[in-house]
Structure 1
Amino acid sequence: MVANPHTFGLGHMHSFFCIGALASPLICQTLIARGWPWQNFYYLSVTIPVINFFTVLMTFRSSLSEFLIDKEKAITGGISLQRIVRGDVPEGSVRPTVAGATAVDVEPSEGATTPKQSSRHNLPRNMFMTTVKTPTVWAFGFFISMYTGSEGVTSGYIVTYLLKMRSADPSVVGYANSAFWAGAAVGRLALGYTSPLMGRRKPYWIFAFIIFAMSFHLCIWFIPSFAIGWAMTALAGLSMGPVFPLSLEIASRNLSPAIISSALAIMSSMGNLGGAFYPFMTGLLSNAEGEKVIEPLVVSLLGTMFCFWAVTRAHFSYK
C-alpha cells in the first residue's frame, strides 16, 4: 500500500518540530551539567531566529520565471474581471470567469438575468469572512488548542513534576523532556508509513491515540517511580505525536479548498493560543496547590479532548 502523500508530508514536516524540541533539552542539559551559565542561552534564543529568518527568505523566494507567470495570471485575471463587470462579452463567446474557468454565453431566456445582472455572482467573495463563519474551522481549532495545551503542559512541567513528586536526579531529569519529544517525533514519522493501514478509519484512530496517552499519563500519576515516569513520558509522546498532523488532514478533507489557507491560519493561531493558555493556567494552579495538580490537569485535558472529538466527529467524514 502506498502512503498518502498528504499524511506522509504532514507527519514528516511536524516531526522536525519534535526533533528540534528533542535536541534543545539535550544540549541545554549537557551544557548546564558542565557548568555553562544559564543566561548564555538567551544569546542562542536570539541567534537561532535570525538564522531562521534568512533561511526562510532564501527558501521561499520567487524565481524570475515564477514572478513572470504570476504577473501574467494577475493581468489576465484583471482584464477578465473588468470585462465581466462591464458585461461587454459578446453573446455566444467564451466568457472567462474569476476562478479561471470558462463558460459559454447563450441567449438569455425570458426572466433570466443578463451578464451585467449576474456578474456580481462571479465576483470573488471575502474568503476570510467565509472561513470565520464556518463552524468546522472553529471545531477543529478548539480541538487543536486543547491538543497543543496538553502537549505544552506535558513538555513544560514534566521535569518539575518528576523533580518534586518523584525526587528525580536533577542532573538527568531534563532528559525526560527529550524523551517526550523523541516519542512524538517517532510517532509522527511513523504516521506517514502507517496511514495506509488506517484507511478511512483515521478519525477513530484519534480516539485510540488519546486513550493511550491518557493511560500513560495515569501511570505517571499513580506509579511513584522516576524510571517508570520517564518511560511513560516517552510513550505518551509517541501516542500524542500523530494526533496533530492527523487532525489537520481530517480537517482539510472537510473544508472547501477555497478556504483551506485561511482555515489553517485560524486553526494554527488557536493552537498557539492553547499552547500558551493551558500551561499558564497550570502554572498558576501549581503555584497555589503544588506540583501534584500537573498530571491530573493533563489527564483532564486529554479526557476533554476525547469527549469533544466524540461529539464533533459525527458532523464530518473522512472521504
Structure 2
Amino acid sequence: MKSRKNLLIFISFIAFISLGLPDGLLGIAWPFISEAIDIRLEKLGLILMAFVAGYLSASLSNSKISNIISLGWLLAGSCMLTGVSLWAFTWAGGLPFLLIAAYFLGAGGGAIDTSLNIFASANFSPSVVNWLHAFYGIGATSGPLILTYLFTQGDSWTMGYFIVGGIQIGLGIVFLSTIKLWKNQATESPDPKAGSFRESIQQPMAFLSILVFFLYTGFEIGVGQWLYTILTQSRGIAEDTGGLWVSTYWGSLTLGRIFFGFVLRKSSTSKVLSLGTIGIVLGSMMLYWDVNANLSYASVALIGLSCAPIFPSMIALASTLFEPKFAPTLISFQISAAMVGGALLPASSGFLAEYFGLEIISFSFAIQAVLLALAYAVIYRFKKRNALTD
C-alpha cells in the first residue's frame, strides 16, 4: 500500500510539471507571437483572460466532473487537451484563434490543478505539498530554458511550443497507462460529504484566504509574464540575458519549494508564510527601485524564493484553518480566485503600461506585494488568537 502511495505521489509530481511548462513559455514567446500576428504587446492581458476563463470553467465544475470520470482519466484527458492547445498556438493566424487556444489550454490546466490540490491537501503533508508545487516550478523553469536554447540555435518560438505540446501528449499517455491505479486511489481522496458552497464561504477567514490566493497568483504570474518584457524592452537587457533571468525567477521558486519542504518538517506553516510575504515585499521594492542591474537581478531571485512557499503552504493550511468538510470546497474557491487574479492583475498591469509605460508594471508588483502581506497578517493573527495549530 505504501509503495502504491509513493507511486501516486511520483505521478502527481509529473502532473505538476505538465502544469508549469506552458506557464513558463508565454512570457518569453509573447513578444514574438504578437509580432507574428501583428497585435500590440498589451493584448497579452486578453490572452490571459481567455486562459483564466477556461481555467475557471474546469475548476468550478470540478465536483461534477469528478462524479463522471476518475482522476486518472481526468489527468490523461487534460494533458492531451493542453498539448493540442499548445500546438494550436503555432497555427494561430489571428487574435480570435489564439483566444480559443488559450481558453482550452486553461481548461486543461484547471482540471489538473484543482483535482490534485484537493487530493494533496487531504492526503499529503505540508512538506509533500510544497515539493509537489516545486515540480510545477520545474516545469515553469524548463519552459523559458527550452525557448532560450532554441533561440540560440536559430529556431523560433513555434518549435518550443511543438516540443512542449508533445511533452504534454506524452504525459497524457503516462496517465492513460496508470488509469487503474488512479481509479483505485481516487476514492481515498477528499471526503465526498463536503460542505455546501454557501456554508463554506461563510466560514471565518474564508473570504480573506480567497483574497490571498487572488493577490498571490496575480503577483506570481505577473512577474513571470512581464519580467522579460520589462528587462529587455524597458531596461535594455539583451534577449538571452533576459531569458536567463526569467528562468532564474522560476528556478528560485522551484528550489525554494524544495527547501521549504524540509523547513516545514521543523517549522510551522504560519511562520514560513510570514517569512515569504515579507520577502516578497522587499524583493518587489528592489525590482521597482532598479538602483542598478545587479540589484534588480538579486530582486528576481529573492522574489522567486519568497514566493516559493506561499501557494502550497496556503493549500496545506486549509486543513487546519477550516473544518475538514469545508476545506475541499474552499480550496476550489481559492484556486479559482488564484486564476482570476492570475489573469486580471497581469492584464491590468498591461493596460496601465499602455498609458504610463512599462515601468508602471514593476510599481504595480510592489503594491500587490504589500496588499498580500497585509491580508496574510490578518489570517496569522486570527490563527494565533484562536490557537489553531498547523
Which residue is equivalent to 2:42? none
Shift of 1:126: 5.8
- The answer to whether 1:225 aligns with 2:280 is no
Unaligned stretches of 5+ in structure 2?
1-123
- The answer to whether 1:175 aligns with 2:244 is yes
Moved more, 137-146 or 179-188: 137-146
Contact 2:211-2:375 at 8 Å conserved across structures: no
Shift of 1:21: 0.6
1:74-127 deviations in Å (ceiling 9; x for gaps): xxxxxxxxxxxxxxxxxxxxxxxxx9xxxxxxxxxxxxxxxxxxxxxxxx6864
- The answer to whether 1:23 aligns with 2:142 is yes
Which residue is equivalent to 1:56? 175
- The answer to whether 1:303 aligns with 2:370 is yes
- Counting helix residues as a fraction of each chain, which structure ranks higher? 2
Which residue is equivalent to 1:278? 345
Gap change, CA 1:275 and 1:193, over 3 Å in 2: same
Which residue is equivalent to 2:217? 148
Unaligned stretches of 5+ in structure 1?
74-98, 100-123
Tell me, in whole angstroms, the C-alpha distance in 1 between the residues paired with 2:202 and 2:178: 34
Tell me, in whole angstroms, the C-alpha distance in 1 between the residues paired with 2:263 and 2:158: 43
Which residue is equivalent to 2:358? 291
Contact 2:276-2:310 at 8 Å conserved across structures: yes
Tell me, in whole angstroms, the C-alpha distance in 2 between the residues paired with 1:12 and 1:295: 29
Which residue is equivalent to 2:61? none
> Larger Rg: 1 or 2?
1
Contact 1:250-1:318 at 8 Å conserved across structures: no
Aligned with 2:128 (options 1, 6, 9): 9
Which residue is equivalent to 2:227? 158
TM-score (norm 2): 0.61
Contact 2:146-2:160 at 8 Å conserved across structures: no
Which residue is equivalent to 2:306? 239
Contact 1:8-1:192 at 8 Å conserved across structures: yes
Contact 1:203-1:318 at 8 Å conserved across structures: no
Contact 1:7-1:191 at 8 Å conserved across structures: no
Match of 1:19, as an amino acid?
A: I
Match of 2:212, as an amino acid?
A: F
Match of 2:166, as an amino acid?
A: T
Other structure's SS at 2:241 match:
coil
Tell me, in whole angstroms, the C-alpha distance in 1 between the residues paired with 2:194 and 2:296: 52
Aligned residues: 260
Other structure's SS at 1:44 match:
helix
TM-score (norm 1): 0.73
Gap change, CA 1:21 and 1:311, over 3 Å in 2: same
Shift of 1:271: 1.0
Tell me, in whole angstroms, the C-alpha distance in 1 between the residues paired with 2:182 and 2:272: 41
Which residue is equivalent to 1:254? 321
Gap change, CA 1:175 and 1:318, over 3 Å in 2: farther
1:125-158 deviations in Å (ceiling 9; x for gaps): 8644432443533321210111111101111111
Match of 1:14, as an amino acid?
A: H
Contact 2:276-2:306 at 8 Å conserved across structures: yes
Identity of aligned residues (%): 21
Shift of 1:174: 0.7
Other structure's SS at 2:267 match:
helix
Tell me, in whole angstroms, the C-alpha distance in 2 between the residues paired with 1:170 and 1:284: 23
Contact 2:230-2:358 at 8 Å conserved across structures: yes
Gap change, CA 1:11 and 1:125, over 3 Å in 2: closer
Shift of 1:304: 0.3
